[in-house]
Amino acid sequence: MNFSCADPQSLDGLNWLLCYLSTGKHVAFYWSFLTVIALMCATVIPAMILGMAGALAKRSAIPPVRWIGSGYTTMVRGIPEILFFLFVPIAMDQLIELARHSLFCPDWDQPIWRGNDFIVCDAAKAPLDTAPAWQHEFYGFGLAVTSFAITFGAFAANILDGALRAVPKGQIEAAQAVGMSRRQIFLRVEVPQMWVYALPGLSNLWMILIKATPLLFLLGIEDVVYWARELGSRTNPQFSDYPHGDWRAWYFSALMVFYLLLTWVSQMGFDRLSARVTRGMAVAR
Amino acid sequence: MNMWKTLIAAAALGAVSTAALADGHTVRMGTEGAYPPYNFINDAGELDGFEIEFGNMLCEHAKLDCTWVKNDWDSIIPNLVSGNYDVIMAGMSITEERDQVIDFTQGYIPATFSFYVAPAGAKLDLTSPDTVIAAQVNTIQAGHVAASGATALEFATPDETVAAVKNGEADAVLADDDYLKPIVADSGGELEVVDQVRLGGGVGLGIRESDAELRAKLDAAIAHFKASGELNALLAKWFKDDAPQW
């Protein structure tokens, strides 16, 4: 490269574009793709654990456990996600700060709620006011993963519950006939066979999760859609070395390609998984 | 009881494993980062603008250790009262309605005009329900449009309000003159200012009602820079010609 990005006005064509696409703002945009993918991957395991727990609770022989299971899935699936995301992270944050407050500041004598204000002592802040920015970001990310896991766990619970019910009764009776315990039947007969029935539903859920990431900005996490809007909007010569008009259509087109690619790769993954779990099973092809 | 406390401790420490030995207090400053020249993200991806520069001056003068936080405009007040940051510095006009929830320092930008901007040559009745006027949600301008009799069309970001006028979704936009001036100048005659109105009690720092000590410190710092003329110089730097002055 025999040009410098120090004076963008002197550049044109491809050189200008290269400099434009490598500004700090664009680097932040590129990182946000990783944030989104990391968040989705981090959500899968806790969501599946919550889903399995919810499904087992719904199938439990003990009524109170069953009530908890149905309560969880009904409540979470019924609340609009945007409300859920405005409420749950702030509530979780306040609960954590309350717990830390009672622990670190036992001598605090002022009220915690004053009018509209929620005030805990400095040492109870999560993260601390003095903590570096990455800790705040990591904490926000944790709250986001937890919120996503709770929401998507409720949907997964219903899918897994349905899949467990779909395992043919004859299989279970045969397992009882050879003297397996309930636990053995569950682990060796029901779980391996339910995946066939669960996978289509779970793949739907994954696709919905992919598209739900713009909700992240409600939690202060800058996702791809936030940056596309920020970068694509008209910039003024007074505030940027790279003034341009409304380029949002270009940025959103790039996002479309990203989302389609993600969907395509996911579909291939699910196809492979599906081939794997149906091995040796009598399913129509 | 002890057992219970240990459990809480484990949960709390698990969330954030930092020592509880913070002595200094850091003041967290919340801003939007999407409202040039007040506050915006520069090419380097960092916060920049009049408020960032003035906010840093205030902190230095008041001997406060400050750090900036970006927050969505929609949830900027809820996050202040729940303690996620301590100050709002985001071009927020002092209004009666907001003053019931949070406190404000004295203004650091005098009450300025808001402009109605429309495509050049449009004949509009700005108080008729047939006229659609775009404004950013939860702003003083949105409140004014709703009260004026025109049909309000609200958007989450200031940028979208201007885009709505350009693509014909709205007949005009009502926003701060400082925000619209460069846009009109830059539009090459496509847009023009059709009317102006003075709204609000100036722009001030938003602070929790229970935080009187911080408010007093920042108030004193603002008064200092007003008296020294440095605030006027900074306003002239960022708002160029006909900048609001004290």
DSSP A123-170: GG-SS-TTS-HHHHHHHHHHHHHHHHHHHHHHHHHHHHHHHHHHS-HH
Q: In the predicted model, what is the mean pLDDT of chain B?
A: 87
Of A5-9, A240-244, B26-30, least confident by mean pLDDT is A5-9
- β-pairing verdict for B39-41 and B87-88: unpaired
CA nearest to A218, candidates B35, B100, B89, B79: B79
Q: Which residue has the higher pLDDT, A42 or B112?
A: A42
CB atoms within 10 A of CB A42: 17
- Give the distance, in angstroms, between the CA of residue A125 and the centroid of all CA atoms in the same chain: 25
Q: How would residue B4 be classed by pLDDT, with cut points 50, 70 and 90?
A: low
- β-pairing verdict for B206-207 and B103-104: antiparallel
Backbone φ/ψ region at A7: left (φ over 0), alpha (ψ -120 to 50), beta: beta
List phi, psi (to 5°) of A237: -55, -25
Supply the pLDDT for residue A221.
82
Q: Give me the percent of chain A exceeding a pLDDT of 70.
A: 98
Q: Where are the alpha helices (DSSP H) in chain A?
A: 13-20, 24-59, 63-78, 81-104, 133-166, 169-177, 182-184, 191-211, 224-232, 248-277
The amino acid at A205:
L
Maximum Cα–Cα distance across chain B: 75
CA nearest to B95, candidates B42, B56, B138, B40: B138
Nearest to A218 among B49, B75, B83 (CB): B75
Does the pLDDT value for residue B16 go beyond 60?
Answer: no
Please, how many CA atoms are within 13 Å of residue B119, restricted to the half-sphere of its CB?
11
pLDDT digits (tens, 9 = 90+) for B139-150: 989 999 999 999
- Cα separation, B198 vs B216, in Å, equals 28
pLDDT digits (tens, 9 = 90+) for B143-186: 999 999 999 999 998 989 999 999 999 999 999 988 998 899 88
**Mean of pLDDT values over B237-241:** 84
Segment (H or E) for B174: strand B172-176
CB pairs under 8 A between A and B: 140
Q: Which residue of B has its CA nearest to A92?
A: B15
Q: Cβ separation of A114 and B34 shorter than 8 Å? A: no
**Mean of pLDDT values over B103-132:** 90
- Cα separation, B140 vs B114, in Å, equals 10
B134 touches B165 (CB < 8 A) = yes
Q: Which residue has the higher pLDDT, B101 or A110?
A: B101
Residues of B in contact with A252 (CB under 8 A): none
Residue with tokens 């609960």: A95
Among A30, A90, A103, most B C-beta atoms within 10 A, so best to mutate, is: A103
Residues of A in contact with B69 (CB under 8 A): 136, 220
Segment (H or E) for B159: helix B158-166
Q: How would residue B236 be classed by pLDDT, with cut points 50, 70 and 90?
A: very high
- Cα separation, A153 vs A50, in Å, equals 5
Q: Which residue of B has its CA nearest to A105?
A: B20
Residues of B in contact with A24 (CB under 8 A): 42-46
Can you tell me the ipTM of this complex? 0.78
Q: Cβ separation of B83 and A120 shorter than 8 Å? A: yes
Cis, bond preceding B129 (omega within 30 deg of 0): no
Q: Does residue B83 sit in helix, strand or coil? A: coil
Give yes or no for B10 touching A (CB within 8 A): no
Q: Model-level pTM?
A: 0.77
Give yes or no for A93 touching B (CB within 8 A): yes
pLDDT digits (tens, 9 = 90+) for A31-74: 999 989 999 999 999 999 999 999 999 999 999 999 999 999 99
Q: In the predicted model, what is the mean pLDDT of chain A?
A: 89
Q: Cβ separation of B101 and A116 shorter than 8 Å? A: yes
Residues 58-87, chain A, touching B (beta carbon < 8 A)? 86
Residues of A in contact with B210 (CB under 8 A): 114-115, 117, 119
Q: How would residue B1 be classed by pLDDT, with cut points 50, 70 and 90?
A: very low
Q: Which residue of B has its CA nearest to A28?
A: B45
